[in-house]
Amino acid sequence: MYSTALCLQSSGSNEGENMDPPLQDCTIEERRGVVRFLWAEGAKLVGIHRLMLAQYGQSIMSQRKVYEWVERFKSGIKRVTDEGRSGRPSTSRSRKASSPQEYRN
């Protein structure tokens, strides 16, 4: 088994520079896939969150969400996309009225 930390190291960072995390603009599905991969590699929950924080920055999911997704993967769920929800979809649209008069019309 290879070290999962090696595959997530940032490349080409220079000390003293204030650089953005290299994976800051990834989708939530990509991040969930990373959680699944690291969990499958045997990484601990805190370690998964720490590695992801280093790569994704403050926009990463919370440690609690990492735990929730690991629990889903443990229960056999393999997909990282959100499941469809039942019920009626929202059809209303709201807009801001510039004056109280607009609400009456």
Q: Please give the pLDDT value at position 10.
A: 42
- Identity of residue 62: S
Q: Are 48 and 66 in contact (CB under 8 A)?
A: yes
Indicate if the pLDDT at residue 2 is higher than 60.
no
Indicate if the pLDDT at residue 95 is higher than 70.
no
Q: Please give the pLDDT value at position 60.
A: 83
Please state, in angstroms and rounded to a whole number, the distance separating the CA atoms of residues 50 and 63.
9
- Residue 91: pLDDT band by 50, 70, 90 thresholds? low
Q: Are 10 and 22 in contact (CB under 8 A)?
A: yes
What value does the mean pLDDT of the chain take?
Answer: 75
- Residue 4: pLDDT band by 50, 70, 90 thresholds? very low
Indicate if the pLDDT at residue 72 is higher than 90.
yes
Helices 45-56 and 28-40 sit at what angle, rounded to 10 degrees?
140
Q: Please give the pLDDT value at position 68.
A: 94
Q: Does the 21-76 domain belong in CATH 1.10.10?
A: yes
Q: What is the pTM of this model?
A: 0.60
Q: Please give the pLDDT value at position 48.
A: 94
Q: Please give the pLDDT value at position 89.
A: 66
Burial class (CB in 10 A: 0-12, 13-18, 19+), 46: exposed
The total of other beta-carbon atoms located within 10 Å of residue 5's CB is 13
